[in-house]
Structure 1
């Protein structure tokens, strides 16, 4: 089938599976990335290798119609933060992969909220693209394991290793899945806004346990730390890995105890935090 893929580096495995299954990817849409919380360098290289046209502007109705005129049969979205214009279901299928068990945890970035608030929603859903975000009829759902130790990398990996097979099976029998899709129960829906800087912020007055939860929830997506270095300069850091531990101390909360290129140690409410992987946010 002729497919338009909409995604970024995290969902590249799905695009690769489409090629392996013998489908023709006629265009790829991605979006501008900061290479801190998201990236599209690999999918751009993939498009170049397979001579697939790629663009990162906001998708327009004209884009949709032009690609349908070029024979597009399926628009497959797997990670796109903007609203996709309506796709005429009489001309092409529009489906989206969402990493939660809808209708729970709708939103652009659901995984942190699953870990922090709704672990029972761990899994993924393939649904029809409609005018409202994450609200289309459900073609397929699959739950994934989660426990109190699961971090965002593990949770996203569990989705990543299952999604290509699921998408492959759905596309092979797309009409059956489409015709038998079930409406979502909006009365049972929950939704979350994209995490902002305040939500990502590490607060030195917080507990070791709460900071660990935030670390599990954001992981490679990164949290934000404001650190005053040994030269009394305050820098904002994107932090991708850290550890905390409870321990009695007499330091003022937020005291910088060690600063090196690979390790920053700061006192927190009931112990210490060690920042292990980080970079300055310009």
Structure 2
């Protein structure tokens, strides 16, 4: 495929930002990039666009807007970690990069579920249709999940595999696109956005429950109470330790750390990762993926 003559619209945030870099470095003409996430989750994409002088849009695209790009010669839409469903157009090629083995794990944040369901760990690239994450599969590959892996390491593995699959796809896009495999609808599962309540931990929870929550939600932050105030915390360690301290009491503190007694042990919280919760923070941290 002649990358230099292919005009592209890219829709995505930080998770697969390496795919945007790959396309730019391969000579694809990225006409614009659409982001829809909070600033911290789109920062890398915005930096890439700044370096390469690519226009960015943060508003949800309209069909008329996309049609204008198509009229100007855009023939490919690439969607990667983007929360809005695109209007249906007559674009020649349109595909989405999704971090699960479809049809298992349709939905906005499958990696939080992959921690518990490692058999569905992988990346799928599929055609975009009216059905969310339901388009024909272009390429798909599984990866292994090690014991006690967290969502953070799964994000890294997904992004690396996504770039590899994207390279394979773009090297023979027309052939692979024409031979796509329909998803088996009877096997499909939809994993909804986890509620904020699932990330709230009590000091009555034991160390095993805390470790599981950190594995699943630590990248986004779990919510804990310290000094009778609620904080989002993304960096903490948990240790097993017999003690007689009151659960939730502070047992150690210095300039960098604060340690809290929990059921069966204690947590060591890095103060630099603590964010005092208010309604605005919760709204941003709980993501904004919209169909």
- Give the TM-score normalised by the residue count of structure 1: 0.90
Change (3 A) 1:60 1:259: farther
2:66 aligned partner: 64
- Counterparts in 2 of 1:2-81, with a 5 A limit? 2-35=7-40, 39-81=41-83
For the residue of structure 2 that corresponds to 1:165, the secondary structure is: helix
Preserved CA contact (<8 Å) 2:15 2:155: no
1:261 shift after superposition = 4.4
Q: Which moved more, 1:246-255 or 1:173-182?
A: 246-255
1:71-109 Cα distance to aligned partner (Å, 9 max, x none): 111100110112222232xx3211000001111111111
Matching of residues 186-225 of structure 1 within 5 Å = 186-225=185-224
Query: What is the CA-CA distance between 1:17 and the residue it aligns to?
Result: 0.4
**What TM-score do you get using the length of structure 2 for normalisation?**
0.87
Q: Which structure 1 residue ranges, 5 or more long, are not aligned?
A: 229-233
Question: Residues 16 and 162 of structure 2 are in contact (CA less than 8 Å); yes or no, is this contact kept in structure 1?
Answer: no
Deviation at 1:254, TM superposition (A): 1.9
Tell me which residue corresponds to 2:262.
268
SS of 1:54's partner is strand
More deviation in 23-32 or 256-265? 256-265
Question: Which 5+ residue runs of structure 2 have no aligned equivalent?
Answer: 1-5, 279-291
Contact map agreement 1:19 1:25 (CA 8 A) in 2 = yes
After TM superposition, give the deviation of residue 132 of structure 1 in Å. 2.1
Aligned counterparts, 1:157-168, within 5 A: 157-168=156-167
Tell me how large the CA RMSD over aligned residues is. Answer: 1.7
Partner of 2:235: 241
Query: Is the CA contact 2:257–2:268 (under 8 Å) kept in the aligned structure 1?
Result: yes
Tell me, yes or no, if the aligned pair for 1:202 and 1:225 is still in contact at 8 Å: yes
Deviations 1:15-41 (A, max 9, x none): 110011111101100014152xxx222
Alignment of 1:66-215 (within 5 A): 66-88=68-90, 91-116=91-116, 118-215=117-214
CA contact (8 A) 2:238 2:268 kept: yes
1:8–1:43 Cα contact (<8 Å) kept? yes
Alpha-carbon distance in 1 for matches of 2:29, 2:59: 22
CA distance in 2, matches of 1:106, 1:263: 39
Q: How many Å separate the matches in 2 of 1:32 and 1:143?
A: 27
| Cα distance change on mapping 1:261 and 1:139 into 2, 3 Å | farther
Q: Deviations over 1:115-135 (max 9, x none)?
A: 03x110111100011122211
